[in-house]
Amino acid sequence: MINKQNNLYGLVLCGGRSTRMGKDKGLLSYYGESQRKYLYKMLDELCDKVFISLHGDQMNNISADFNTIADNDHFPGPFNGIYSAHRQFPNVAWLVIAIDMPLLREKDLQQLITSRNHEKTATAFATGEKKLPEPLCAIWEPGSFLPAAEFIGENQSGPRRFLLNSDVQLVFPEDDTILMNANTPEESKAALKKIQTSEINNPATTK
């Protein structure tokens, strides 16, 4: 177990449209509570402060129990959420996670934190056969945002492409499936089955 990290803020990206799922992915439940609440609490164990990242028109539908940051730029996609968080608090690093990774455990985030390299643009899990950085489960250092602003200024909005052109500390997860995305009802069902039938994400064994 590691302590809360000073100057590390947590961001749960929830500003997507969930069109493939057909319902808000933040409201799905894999562990007996909404995924939004589950991941918020997980980050709260590790970070100084935690925020839910949303696009502007979702702000009225969220409980006041959560700290929130609304997208304030004009391009769609997760980089907008990350960049808007930085604009609000430019001097901290951000531990960013996507709402649609139901197999992610607190111990995986601890691995990211203990592997963190403050000198790099970001510390990110390596995913897939090509071991590319996963921008939506990563620590973004404060120094990443000047180059990010330039990148966005060139009308680019892909956070993975940005990290591919940056100096990133790659972290190799114990098991690649922890980063599985559940974007459709079928993927969500498959994730739930994995949770119920394997120990990978049994909350009792996650810490």
Cite the annotated binding site for GTP by residue number: 13-15, 25, 71, 100
Q: By CB under 6 A, name the one of 10, 78, 102, 159 that touches ligand GTP.
A: 78
Minimum Å gap between C-beta 51 and ligand GTP is: 10
Decide if residue 81 touches ligand GTP (CB under 6 A). yes
Closest contact distance (angstroms) between CB of 85 and ligand GTP is: 9
**For the window 25-64, what string marks contact with ligand GTP as x by the rule CB under 6 A?**
x---------------------------xxx---------
| Residue 156: CB atoms within 10 Å | 15
Per residue, the 3-state secondary structure of the chain, as one string, reads CCCCEEEEEEEEECCCCCCCCCCCHHHCECCCCEHHHHHHHHHHCCEEEEEEEECHHHHHHCCCCCCEEECCCCCCCHHHHHHHHHHHCCCCEEEEEECCCCCCCHHHHHHHHHCCCCCCCEEEEEECCCCEEEEEEEEECHHHHHHHHHHHHCCCCCHHHHHHCCCEEEECCCCHHHHCCCCCHHHHHHHHHHHHHCCCCCHHHCC
Binding residues for Mg(2+): 100
Q: Given candidates 96, 109, 136, 137, which one binds ligand GTP under the rule CB under 6 A?
A: 136
Residue 17 interacts with ligand GTP (CB under 6 A): yes or no = yes
Query: CB of residue 187 vs ligand GTP: minimum separation in angstroms?
Result: 11
Closest approach of ligand GTP to the CB of residue 202, in Å: 23
Output the known binding site: 13-15, 25, 71, 100
Judged by the rule CB under 6 A, the positions of this chain that interact with ligand GTP are 13-20, 25, 53-55, 71, 76-78, 80-81, 98-100, 136, 183
